[in-house]
Structure 1
Amino acid sequence: MTPRFKRIILKLSGEALAGKAGFGIDPDVLVCIAQQVKELKKENIQTAIVVGGGNIWRGAEANARGMDRATADHMGMLATVINGLALQDALEQNHVDTRVQSAVDMRQMAEPYIRRRAIRHLEKGRVVIFAAGTGNPYFSTDTAAALRAAEIEAEAILLAKGKVDAVYDDDPNTNPSAKKFAELTYLEVLNLGLGVMDSTAASLCMDNNIPLIVFQLKSGNILKAVMGEKIGTFIS
């Protein structure tokens, strides 16, 4: 099969990295991701990754308890760097050349984010992990994924979820009657308040014509999504 996309952003939630434990980093999940990304490399698919930090720190919850929002978000950025470094190690153990680029300067651990350098890494077959979100508080890692996708001219964003296999009108884990969507437009996502990603990220994707595929992080699913197989929910 011919890949549907040649350059993609893989968006991983922090919760997905936590696995069944619900917190921290599950080594088995890292191995699963690394093996699937290695499959993408074999197909010459240029892959960049944006990872969240909710498995370590949730800034919104801390803010709700009274912590300064900017401080809480800065702590969340650091959590994404921890996840990015862990993911880099798992990929390189699977012989996948990887670079971590941070939106916040920390040169001892990661490269600074430079758009042209990131694109050059991708052209050379390296995986690039974008850490620390956008580098600014008040913006989610979903928005970071949309922004980086626009900047590097990615053809799609693949949103890998830990607990659900698509977009539903309610939580399918608590409501067995929840309706599953095969396809949606960004306007429908915004108007229905489906919570796939925050409104800033959805608007950015819509304005730049970047399709989004939402699916469950299981073995083989990332390659299926890139190859254009019917999986999860397709949003455009």
Structure 2
Amino acid sequence: MSSIQQSQIDDNAAVAARAIVWSDVLESTLFAQLAADKQRASDNVDNTLSWYKTYTDTLSAVGWRINNADFTQVTYNGTAGTINDTVLEQLANDPTVSKALYASVSRALLAFARTGSGSDAETVFDSASIASSSEFASFQLAVASVNEDGDLILTLLAWFYSSNQKIGSTLWFSWQNATLDIKTSTLTMTLNVDLYDQVRFSIHDKLDSANKLGLLVPLCKSLISSCPQLSLILNSA
């Protein structure tokens, strides 16, 4: 076998391995989301916080080890603005947010914007993120990466916000002459692969039998095979 052929085999194996890793992220977080949806409402801040606890408890049960969890209340007093710009502004001003994490979120927002208004990704995202009153929304931006030790790390950045103006689009909502109260959460987790190996196929089969795998709408196909970091947008309500 030539060195070129061996290199191609190695590259194909690496792509396959990354596909499995990202599939674990997508399916485990969707499973936790659906479990939380079944038990908790998410139509206001208090209910969403309860929803979020059920969500993270489920993630812990299937193999995610929580390393850090922080909640912050932010009052945004801009006379006009958009949610996506506010998200980037908050991250830019947060000393705990690395440049790599900020760049990953920026790329995820850009990829989402490029899907276009009314896209499948936006429809799924908004239908799950905006409360029936259209005055409250919650969402997550998630970044998965593999560290030097080969551990899969997931950082979940969540935002919960309300407005007296009708929210038509979760991320592109804009307002004028209003004060926006936002609660944010940062959750960092590491996947215990040995534990997840025990439930991987069960989780996949449950999602498949419930016809829920269609909720995993890719923003950009190239993200699935990107390395070493993958940016995702996950709806959280």
TM-score (normalised: structure 2): 0.30
Greater Rg over alpha carbons, structure: 2
* Greater RCO (CA < 8 Å, at least 6 residues apart): 2
Which structure's residues are more often helix, by fraction?
Answer: 2
